[in-house]
Amino acid sequence: MSYENRMYLRMALPWAMFGMFTILATWITTILADVPLSMGAAVSPLAEAPLIVAGIGALVTSCIAVWQFYRLWQWQHGKAEDCMVCGCLLGAEYQARWNVGRRCLGCRKFVQTR
């Protein structure tokens, strides 16, 4: 697998994971919303809860995906900082032991930014 493909996978991971989390949360909320019906109530007070959970989850997931695609667009047009080793996009900035830098999303090398 090339470094560029690894970068794409690492960029897709956050919103794919949040999408999976949304599906799981919606499923659990659906089960919770059906509990009053199984106990004999005519109408569940939580009937709209799965829809609200799925809506919020889809909104957050699409916001993460749009942000990642924007970063990719910046990288493809040469407007983002890239790795000096493999040319891939850099991750979030963090404080390492001695200096501040960002880790490459492709080859995982630490790139000092300050």
11 contacts Zn ion (rule: CB under 5 A): no
Q: What is the DSSP string of 41-63?
A: -SS-TTTTHHHHHHHHHHHHHHH
Residue 110 burial (C-beta neighbours within 10 Å; 0-12, 13-18, 19+): middle
Size of the site for Zn ion (CB under 5 A): 7
101 contacts Zn ion (rule: CB under 5 A): no
35 contacts Zn ion (rule: CB under 5 A): no
Q: Which stretch binds Zn ion (CB under 5 A): 20-28, 49-57, 69-77, 87-95?
A: 87-95
Question: Sheet of 100-104: strands edge to edge?
Answer: 90-95, 100-104, 110-112
Q: Which stretch binds Zn ion (CB under 5 A): 38-46, 68-76, 90-98, 100-108?
A: 100-108
90 contacts Zn ion (rule: CB under 5 A): no
* 3-class secondary-structure state, position 85: coil
* 3-class secondary-structure state, position 9: helix
Q: Which stretch binds Zn ion (CB under 5 A): 25-33, 48-56, 60-68, 78-86?
A: 78-86
Query: Which residues of this chain interact with Zn ion, rule CB under 5 A?
Result: 83, 85-86, 88, 104, 106-107
